[in-house]
Amino acid sequence: MILQALIFDVDGTLAETEEAHRAAFNRTFEAHDLGWHWSMEDYRWLLKTTGGKERMRAWQATLPPEARRMSDDEIAALHKEKTATYGAILGAGELALRPGVAALIDAARDAGLRIAVATTTNLPNVAALTRCCWNTEPDAVFDVIAAGDEVKAKKPAPDVFELALDRLGLAPGACVAFEDSLNGVHSARGAGLPVVVTPSVYTDDQDFSAAEMVRPSLEGLSVGTLAALLAA
In tens, the pLDDT along 33-60 reads: 999 999 999 999 999 898 999 999 999 9
Count other Cβ atoms within 10 Å, centred on residue 213: 16
Residue range 5-16+96-231 in CATH 3.40.50.1000: yes
**CATH 1.10.150.240 domain span(s) along the chain:** 18-91
What Cα–Cα distance (Å) separates residue 91 from each residue in 10, 52, 84? 17, 20, 10
CATH no. of 18-91: 1.10.150.240
What is the model's pLDDT at position 44? 93
**CATH 3.40.50.1000 domain span(s) along the chain:** 5-16+96-231
Query: With contact defined as beta carbons under 8 Å apart, do 9 and 184 qualify?
Result: yes
Q: Calculate mean pLDDT across residues 194-207.
A: 95
Q: Identify whether 9 is a catalytic site residue.
A: yes
What is the model's pLDDT at position 190? 98
Express as a percent the part of the chain with pLDDT over 70: 100
Q: Identify whether 11 is a catalytic site residue.
A: yes
What is the model's pLDDT at position 206? 94
CB crowding 48-70: b at 16 or more within 10 Å, else e? ebbbbbbbbeebeeeeeeeeeee
Catalytic residue, candidates 11, 143, 159, 180: 11
What is the model's pLDDT at position 231? 82
Stated pTM of the model? 0.88
